[in-house]
Amino acid sequence: MIQHHPDIEPVKTRLHVDEPLGEGATVGLDHERAHYLRHVLRLDKGNRVALFNGRDGEWSARIDGFGKGWCSLAVESRRRPQAPEPDVWLLFAPIKRARIDFVAEKAAELGASAVWPVITRHTDVARVNTDRLRANAIEAAEQCERLTVPEIREPVRLDQAMAGWDPARPLLLCAEAGPVRPVEAALAGLPPGPAAILTGPEGGFAKDELDGLINLPFVVPVGLGPRILRADTAALAALACWQAHCGDWSAGGADVRPPFRSQESG
Amino acid sequence: MIQHHPDIEPVKTRLHVDEPLGEGATVGLDHERAHYLRHVLRLDKGNRVALFNGRDGEWSARIDGFGKGWCSLAVESRRRPQAPEPDVWLLFAPIKRARIDFVAEKAAELGASAVWPVITRHTDVARVNTDRLRANAIEAAEQCERLTVPEIREPVRLDQAMAGWDPARPLLLCAEAGPVRPVEAALAGLPPGPAAILTGPEGGFAKDELDGLINLPFVVPVGLGPRILRADTAALAALACWQAHCGDWSAGGADVRPPFRSQESG
């Protein structure tokens, strides 16, 4: 069961859509989602759901009708306006399937603005299913009350990603080793603004690859303690630490958790 | 492939055992692990592995012989002494199987000293397989170079866990809502020493359960931002933030990441 902000009428479900949202708009759902609403959630004509598209805020919509393989929704009123969100990218060397699904889900929950697979020397995953990553990220965004979905970028080689890098976006390198600063000290030294996190493959970065990264002016090598973390653990630990210090979990963040909610009250 | 401290001869694998470890000791492995060494890792008599038991540090051992369903190891020399570790417990309301496996694995990597399932009002998981949790925690500890394995405690009701609580151990309550402090501010207010983290079930804490927790003198409600995190995400985000600020990821921690390692260099 998803939970809801206390000042908003609860709805049974939240869906991400691509269409523009506004009073009087109509949104159609495809076969899979129509089936989900009707036969899994057992919603009916007249029931309400919440919609968001990453641009127009969150809207309440009424189910207007179901047909064979479709569902039509009448958009009624805005529940929440679109708001600025922290801008932190996650770059990661692709890993095995269950773990990559997990990274996409957790990155969405932890507020990554973009998720970008990068191919390093020792990356032994040949193909990345970005549609699958996107589906996992959307589902997590729907559940965690985000108003956006992380952008899922097409995989590129690490050197290509670095060649076009905007130096105004510091890149926190989760090196499995090297001349690193403890993550909290590194975060305290960052300027406010966009940032990114990079984690390597299970086999680690190649020595010269790591040397090359560390010499880039925008790269900040960070240490995540004495244990050797799996790639997926490092990615989300670094995201959590960034949100706590620089992002919207911090006291200075744009949005802190709203007052009391619990199962009974909402 | 696991990675290794640069000042220690690399070995193919690391195993947690229960037996005492010391020069000249002999350790026997059961059928499953003997099979794993011989037929999965393809190790042979004379090959070396690393052993740890949570008490005697890490030791190098030589495979002395294989038999039908057993393997005998001769303990040779100490690779690393036992060292103090941060003392942070993870209390969590049990969740579905794939996610609970994940929590045990990540808690081990993130350095939790104990993992304790607690049954809350809205916990809808009837039975917790602690053997399975322990197996996941051991595997993660072996891979991440920990010298200990988190203690896996038997499940109890939340009120029972609270009734016997040592008030010298602050309990960070990851409330899905409530009068919380941002996690970083809450961590900055903790005294040095042991701590614990508590996350609720997927359905959240019950209203009176949350009220009761917040009134306990050792409970510190913490906020993890405006998104509604899944229970597993909240648990490991809080652990990561605790390690970064209070634990062995911090500049003041006992052990920071050792110098440069990479695949080529060992």
- What local confidence, expressed as pLDDT, does residue B126 receive? 74
Alpha-carbon dihedral angle through residues B70, B71, B74, B80, given to the nearest 10 degrees: -110
ipTM over 0.85: yes
Q: Give the H or E element holding residue B161.
A: helix B158-163
Does A261 sit within 8 Å of B176, measured CB to CB?
yes
Quote the percentage of chain A above a pLDDT of 90: 79
Judge: A258–B178 Cβ closer than 8 Å, yes or no: no
CA angle A105, A111, A113 (to 5 degrees): 95
What percent of chain B clears pLDDT 70, i.e. is strictly above it? 89
**Chains A and B: how many Cβ contacts under 8 Å?**
217
B144 and A227 within 8 Å at the Cβ level: the answer is yes
Question: How many CB atoms lie under 10 A from the CB of residue A222?
Answer: 27
Residue B179, chain A, CB below 8 Å: the answer is: yes
Q: Which pLDDT tens digit goes with each residue over A96-151?
A: 877 888 999 999 999 999 999 999 998 877 789 999 999 999 999 999 999 999 99
- What is the pairing mode between strands B48-52 and B14-16? parallel
CB count within 10 Å of CB A126 equals 7
Average pLDDT for A184-205: 93
Residue A262 vs residue B109, higher pLDDT: B109
Exposed / middle / buried, residue A81 (Cβ in 10 Å: 0-12, 13-18, 19+): exposed
CA–CA gap between residue A53 and residue B164 (Å, rounded): 48
The domains of chain B, with CATH numbers, are: 14-80 (2.40.240.20), 88-245 (3.40.1280.10)
Mean pLDDT value across residues B157-180: 91
Residues 6+ apart with CB under 8 A from B115: B89, B90, B92, B103, B104, B107, B108, B133, B137, B150, B151, B152, B153
A116 beta partners: A91
A contact residues 204-223, partner B, Cβ 8 Å cutoff? 204-207, 210, 223
pLDDT in tens, B25-47: 999 999 999 999 999 999 999 99
pLDDT tens-place string over residues B194-250: 999 999 988 889 999 999 999 999 999 999 999 999 999 999 999 999 999 999 998
- Give the residue on A whose Cα is nearest the Cα of B112: A227
Partner A contacted by B260 (CB < 8 A) = yes
